[in-house]
Chain A
Amino acid sequence: MKRLILIVTVLLWFGGVFGQQVLPNVSLKTVDGKAINANEFNNDGKPFAICFWATWCKPCLMELSAIAENYEQWQEDTGIKIYAVSIDDSRTQSKVQPLVSSSDWGFEVILDVNSELKRALGVNNPPHTFVVNAKGEIVWQHVGYAPGDEENLIEKLIEVSGE
Chain B
Amino acid sequence: MRRLLLLLIMLVSGLVVQAQGIFGGKVTGNFQWDIQASREDSTIGAEKVDEKLLNNAFANINYVNGDFSAGMRFEAYLNPILGFDSQYKGAGIPYRFASYKKDYLEITVGNYYEQFGNGLVFRAYEERNLGLDNAMDGLRVVARPLDGISIKGIIGKQRYYWEDIWDSDNGLVRGLDAEVSLNDLVESWKNSSTRMTIGGSFVSVYEQAKPKYVNIGGSDYRMSIPENVGAAAFRFDFSHKSFFLSAEYAQKGQDPNAVNGFIYRKGNALLLKTSYFIKGLAIALEAKRIDNMSFKSKRDETGNMLNVNYLPAITRQHSYSLMAMYPYATQLNGEMGIQADVMYKFKKNTMLGGKYGTEVKFNYSRVHSIDKQPLEGYALNQAGTEGYTSDFFKVGDELYFEEVNFEINKKLTNKFKLNLMYSYQSFNPVAFGHPEQQNIYANIFVADGLYKFNRKHSLRTELQWLLTEQNYGEWAKGDWLQATLEYNFAGKWFFALSDQWNYGNENGDRTHYYNVSLGSTYNTTRISISYGKQRDGIICIGGVCREVPASNGLFMTITSSF
- CB atoms of A148 and B17 under 8 A apart: no
**Residue interface mask B2-24, A partner, CB < 8 A = 1:** 01100110110111011111000
**Do the beta carbons of A95 and B284 come within 8 Å of each other?**
yes
Q: A128–B29 Cα gap in the complex (Å)?
A: 14
| Chain A min CB distance to B91 (Å) | 14
Q: Which residue of A lies closest to B195 (CB)?
A: A33
Q: How far is it, in angstroms, between the C-alpha of A91 and the C-alpha of B455 when the chains are bound? A: 36
Partner of A24, one of B69, B115, B273, B409: B69
Q: Which of A1-23 contact B (CB under 8 A)?
A: 2, 5-6, 8-13, 15-22
A34 touches B183 (CB 8 A): yes
A151 at the interface (CB under 8 A from B): yes
A114 touches B113 (CB 8 A): yes
Partner of A2, one of B4, B60, B67: B4
Contact of B10 among A9, A62, A95, A128 (CB under 8 A): A9
Interface contact A122-B452, CB-CB below 8 Å:
no
Contact across chains for B458 and A147 when beta carbons are under 8 A apart: yes
Check if A91 sits within 8 Å of B523, measured CB to CB: no
CA distance A99 to B113 in the complex (A): 27
Count B-side interface residues using an 8 Å CB cutoff.
100
| Total inter-chain residue pairs, C-beta < 8 Å | 226
Known: A8-B14, A18-B562. A142 touches B523 (CB 8 A): yes
Contact B17–A90 (Cβ < 8 Å): no
Partner of B319, one of A16, A56, A114: A56
Interface residue B64 (Cβ < 8 Å from any Cβ of A): yes
Chain B stretch 207-247: residues in CB contact (< 8 A) with chain A? 237, 239, 242, 244, 246
Say whether B477 faces chain A, with CB atoms less than 8 Å apart: no
Is A115 an interface residue, CB under 8 A from the partner?
A: yes
Contact indicator A94/B284 (Cβ below 8 Å): yes
Give chain A interface residues in 116-153, CB to chain B under 8 Å. 116, 119-125, 128, 140-144, 146-149, 151-152
| Given A33-B197, A122-B30: A148 in contact with B490 (beta carbons within 8 A) | yes
A98 touching B277 in the complex, CB below 8 Å, given contacts A8-B14, A18-B562, A115-B125: yes
State in angstroms the CA–CA spacing of A19 and B279 once bound together.
41
Establish whether residues A128 and B561, one from each chain, have CB atoms under 8 Å apart when the complex forms.
yes
Distance from B407 Cβ to chain A, minimum over Cβ atoms (Å): 11
Instruction: Verify B60–A122 contact, CB threshold 8 A.
Output: yes
Chain B residues with CB below 8 A from A32, complex form: 195, 239
In the complex, chain B residues whose CB is within 8 Å of the CB of A113: 115
B-side contacts of A124, CB under 8 Å:
30, 32, 559-561
Known contacts A91-B313, A143-B521: A102-B345 contact under CB 8 Å: yes
Measured CA separation A8–B123 after assembly (Å): 39
Q: Are B115 and A12 in contact (CB under 8 A)?
A: no
A21, A27, A152: the one within 8 Å of B490 (CB): A152
Given contacts A91-B313, A94-B246, A143-B561, contact A102 B184 (CB under 8 A): no
A101 within 8 A of B: yes
Ranked 9 nearest A-B pairs via Cβ: A12-B14, A148-B490, A98-B282, A91-B312, A101-B277, A102-B343, A122-B30, A146-B488, A90-B118
Q: Which residues of A contact B (CB under 8 A)?
A: 2, 5-6, 8-13, 15-22, 24-25, 27, 32-35, 55-58, 62, 65, 69, 89-92, 94-95, 97-99, 101-104, 113-116, 119-125, 128, 140-144, 146-149, 151-152
Q: Report which B residues bind A (CB closer than 8 A).
A: 3-4, 7-8, 10-11, 13-15, 17-21, 26-30, 32, 60, 62, 64, 67, 69, 101, 113-115, 117-119, 123, 125-126, 142, 144, 147-148, 150, 181, 183-184, 195, 197, 237, 239, 242, 244, 246, 271, 273, 275, 277-284, 286, 310, 312-314, 317-320, 341, 343-345, 356, 359, 409, 450, 452, 455-458, 460, 488-491, 494, 521, 523-526, 542-543, 559-562
**Could you show 26 A-B contacts with beta carbons less than 8 Å apart?**
A2-B7, A5-B11, A12-B15, A12-B18, A17-B17, A19-B27, A22-B26, A35-B148, A35-B184, A90-B117, A91-B313, A94-B286, A98-B343, A102-B277, A102-B359, A103-B359, A104-B279, A115-B125, A115-B126, A120-B69, A122-B30, A124-B559, A124-B560, A128-B524, A143-B526, A148-B488
